Structure 1
Amino acid sequence: MFEKVIINVGGQTFITKRSTLHRYPDTKLANISETCDYFDKTTEVYYFDRNPLIFQSVLDYYRTGKLHFLSNICAEQIREEIEFWEISTADLGPCCWKYFYAVDSDLKTCNVIDTYFFHKKCSLYSSTSSLTKVKSKIWNLLESPGSSKIAFVWQIFYLCVVCIAILVSIIQSFELSRTEMKGDYNETSEEGITKRLSDHDNWIGVVSNVCIVIFILETSLRLATCPCKFNFFLSFLNVVDIVSVVGCFAHVIVGAFPDSNEAFFTFTYALVILQGFRFFRLERFIEGLRIMLLSIKQSKKMLCLLILILLISSIIFGMTIHIVEMNGDFADAINSFYWAIITMTTIGYGDIYPKTKCGQIIASVCATFGLFLLSMPIAVVANNFTDLNKRYCEHQCHLHQQKKSTWGRNDKKEFIPIKY
């Protein structure tokens, strides 16, 4: 066996000692010999059709015991080469961690963008009958605005109905306030609310009922034509639709009985107001809104941590101000917790405030802590939004280049690029 080892990688020759390669016996280079498939007996050279730039770093690892790579090489390509040479990344230098492991988060973001924006979910039905085809067309009409012009027009009409329903609820609230100020109702407060909420004789009630009927029909059709009922109930907007529809029926039933409890009657009306969440269906048309909702979803761990720390901090500051301001507005522990949350979120209504010097110091510390507490998750959400938006634009550009290449092969006419 020769002490000198000549290795040709991708046409570039490297010379080293066999003792150097034996420093890591569990690797590929430590186990090469004259009998392996990579050895040429004529030239006494080991030939590997691999990347020579990465192999330079691999050979340096055998010489120095430290694994470093050039930052201008793709990290995924480096991983493939490391896997081929059977080298562990445990000895990777800390200076290379940033760009070597950053590709993981980049690939994860690209997969998220690809899944939510560019991969159409296949809706598979259990049969291929004519009824199934009709259900498929109805489902695409209700769920995919880009499937046809009729689907796009329907989505615009649906969002207009949502806006009208929200506007009607606002007008009803204004009418209640104006009527109570004029004193037109001789009923008690409970009767007045019941009368306003169940008043279907005027034009506002008619418009509200028409919107509710449209919502009920739309939700029923989507539930009936959905190919996977389990995935249907996993969607937050679908659950809101079903709850609001149930609230509509409950509201009408409760309103038919004058002796109904006011709290239950108001609760059923609140369920109806949940239909305002349907406005978030705009994310089907506005990519920025969808990216914003997606960034919030990607930051759910940080947001849950924020809520947990906020609750713990409100208990600590609330109990502290409760002890210090025992004889004032903070005699009630609930008021103390309420004040702590309002102060830490920098809202500061001013309805409850400390009057002693010690209480004011605690309030200052509480407000300062709230500033630092809120700034961290907001920065994480903003960073996720920026990253997702950047990857989305890159994906759009890549698809544009693919379309351009396909167009060029099929038709040699001039292709006008689209600016994103």
Structure 2
Amino acid sequence: MEPLSGFNRNSNIRINICGTIFECHSETLKRFKESKLAHIKRQTNHYDSVRNEYYFDRNPYMFNAILDACRKGTIHLPRDMCGASFSEELKFWDVSPSHVAPCCWEALYRNESDVVKIRKVTKYLRCDAHMIEDVQSIASWRKKLWLFFDDPSSSVNAMIWGSFISLLIVMSTITEALQTLPTFTVNLTESETRVLIEIVKLLGLENSTAANLEALKPHPYLLYTDACCHLLLTVDFLLTFMVCPRKRMYMFSYIRIIVLFGYISFWIAFMMEIHLESLTTVASIRTYMAFKYLSILQLTRLCYLVKRIPAFNIMIYTFLSSLQELKVLMFMLGILMFIFGFIMFIAEMFHNSKIDNVFVAMYWALITLTTVGYGDYYPDTAFGHVIAVTCAVCGVLVLALPIGIIASSYYTYCSYQQYAATHIRRYGANSINDDSD
């Protein structure tokens, strides 16, 4: 190569990329005017006058793609190349990603969505792992209790206790469902009937509603069974909070906050329910009704089962990452519901059909599009039958469109969750690179 001051049109440039020698015409490097290669003669700190070459400690495999782009004018990425790493290489050489060919956009940008998915998957895994690592510096009894209550996989006893708590949650939910069956109800006393009448008057309900409510007093053994389940669940909740090494992080979960309010509401409503005859004022009745309604928040405890079954977390992440596809699906269903609803109403309006207004027709269209088909409304005319068939076929096609995308996203999350769990289990939460945090 000629001396640096003798740069000319026909001179060759030797570039040493971490031991791999690349040689090309100087004009080739000027393809991208804004790049560092176009002004390589300014890189005097990289120039080796003895070897007559420029040395850069970069990835030769990626540089080969960039140098090839200088010859062709567009950048093409190998399919197996990491898009994020190649973007960093482009940034080092001051080459704009706008030069990437459309056929390689997937390879360039696919990694960005993958990083987002990895962050979501590893977030809750790292939080739990950090909590477990923190207890290493705490007294051994507290460590054992924390692992016992919060991590069912830490020991056989913890797994048994976690299964027991899950069983209590399911049992309590079933018990509350059984309380609505006539077989498991008892008659109200006179004082309780009086309170019920006051509640009906306060809420402005009809007498038939009062009769239905009167038959909903649960049998005492169901009521106290539910109370025993809640007692154990409440104790588990409080003990877990007491031994938690990061109490603020533990209570920062909105699910735990909702469950806590549900437990508080349940116990207040339970104490007022067993003394129902003592509710003599409107304020006390309103208080009882308010806490009775709020106690439904305790059903959020079913989300605790999600922690025991990682597949539920994956499903949540999958739906959140597929919001765009779901929005398109809802939009298409809405359009088709209006179109087929109006057409069906026009087709049936002169034939004494059950579909006697547009809203009923749109309801029929939505049920048909979603392939539910209750059968409470149906067309009577031949033209209506044709519309119904067309509507059903469109519903199948529209519902089938996002299934592939959602299934692919679910598979990706499952894979990342398995890899992240294995990595954290072997090397700890701090071993995860910050780029994916």
- Normalised to the residue count of structure 2, the TM-score between the two structures is 0.72
- 1:339 pairs with one of 350, 364, 375: 364
Per the alignment, residue 285 of structure 1 pairs with 308
Per the alignment, residue 58 of structure 1 pairs with 66
> Relative to structure 1, is the Cα distance of residues 36 and 111 closer, same or farther in structure 2, using a 3 angstrom cutoff?
same
Mapped to 2, the partners of 1:322 and 1:315 lie a distance apart of 11
Answer yes or no: is the 8 Å Cα contact 1:145–1:284 preserved in 2: no
Mapped to 1, the partners of 2:332 and 2:239 lie a distance apart of 43
Answer yes or no: is the 8 Å Cα contact 1:248–1:269 preserved in 2: no
Per the alignment, residue 416 of structure 2 pairs with 391
Per the alignment, residue 412 of structure 1 pairs with none
- 2:224 pairs with one of 206, 212, 223: 206
Per the alignment, residue 168 of structure 1 pairs with 175
Kindly report which structure 2 residues correspond to 1:91-130, keeping only aligned pairs within 5 A, or say none: 91-120=99-128
Per the alignment, residue 336 of structure 2 pairs with 313
Q: Which blocks of at least 5 consecutive residues in structure 2 are unaligned?
A: 1-5, 132-137, 188-195, 197-206, 432-437
How far has the Cα of 1:367 moved from its partner? 1.6
Q: Secondary structure at the match of 2:123?
A: helix
How far has the Cα of 1:244 moved from its partner? 6.8
> Relative to structure 1, is the Cα distance of residues 241 and 346 closer, same or farther in structure 2, using a 3 angstrom cutoff?
farther
Q: Which AA in structure 1 matches 2:125?
A: F
Q: Which AA in structure 2 matches 1:207?
A: T
> Relative to structure 1, is the Cα distance of residues 159 and 192 closer, same or farther in structure 2, using a 3 angstrom cutoff?
farther
- 2:54 pairs with one of 46, 54, 78: 46
> Relative to structure 1, is the Cα distance of residues 233 and 196 closer, same or farther in structure 2, using a 3 angstrom cutoff?
farther
The one-character-per-residue Cα deviations of 1:200-239 (angstroms, maximum 9, x if unpaired) are 53x1222123334445566677789996779847634642
Per the alignment, residue 69 of structure 1 pairs with 77
1:2 aligns with 2:27: no
Answer yes or no: is the 8 Å Cα contact 1:339–1:352 preserved in 2: yes
Q: Secondary structure at the match of 1:120?
A: helix
Q: Secondary structure at the match of 2:125?
A: helix
Per the alignment, residue 135 of structure 2 pairs with none
Per the alignment, residue 435 of structure 2 pairs with none
> Relative to structure 1, is the Cα distance of residues 363 and 254 closer, same or farther in structure 2, using a 3 angstrom cutoff?
farther
Equivalent pairs: percent with the same residue?
Answer: 27
Per the alignment, residue 325 of structure 1 pairs with 348
RMSD: 4.3
Answer yes or no: is the 8 Å Cα contact 1:248–1:271 preserved in 2: no
Q: Which AA in structure 2 matches 1:235?
A: Y
- 2:404 pairs with one of 365, 375, 379: 379
Count of residues paired in the alignment: 390
Per the alignment, residue 23 of structure 2 pairs with 15
Q: Secondary structure at the match of 2:400?
A: helix
- Normalised to the residue count of structure 1, the TM-score between the two structures is 0.74
Q: Which AA in structure 2 matches 1:30?
A: A
Q: Which blocks of at least 5 consecutive residues in structure 1 are unaligned?
A: 124-129, 181-186, 407-420
The one-character-per-residue Cα deviations of 1:153-211 (angstroms, maximum 9, x if unpaired) are 5433322221212222343344359999xxxxxx975344333433353x122212333
Kindly report which structure 2 residues correspond to 1:264-279, keeping only aligned pairs within 5 A, or say none: 272=295, 275-279=298-302
- 1:78 pairs with one of 69, 73, 86: 86
Answer yes or no: is the 8 Å Cα contact 2:261–2:298 preserved in 1: no
- 1:364 pairs with one of 389, 401, 407: 389
Q: Which AA in structure 1 matches 2:213?
A: T
Mapped to 2, the partners of 1:108 and 1:64 lie a distance apart of 33
Answer yes or no: is the 8 Å Cα contact 1:251–1:265 preserved in 2: no
> Relative to structure 1, is the Cα distance of residues 189 and 213 closer, same or farther in structure 2, using a 3 angstrom cutoff?
farther
The one-character-per-residue Cα deviations of 1:114-168 (angstroms, maximum 9, x if unpaired) are 2132443767xxxxxx9xxx99998877655456777655433322221212222
How far has the Cα of 1:329 moved from its partner? 1.2
Mapped to 1, the partners of 2:215 and 2:270 lie a distance apart of 12
Q: Secondary structure at the match of 1:29?
A: coil
Per the alignment, residue 159 of structure 1 pairs with 166
Kindly report which structure 2 residues correspond to 1:23-42, keeping only aligned pairs within 5 A, or say none: 23-33=31-41, 36-42=44-50
Mapped to 2, the partners of 1:314 and 1:247 lie a distance apart of 42
Q: Name the stretch that deviates more: 305-314 or 288-297.
A: 305-314
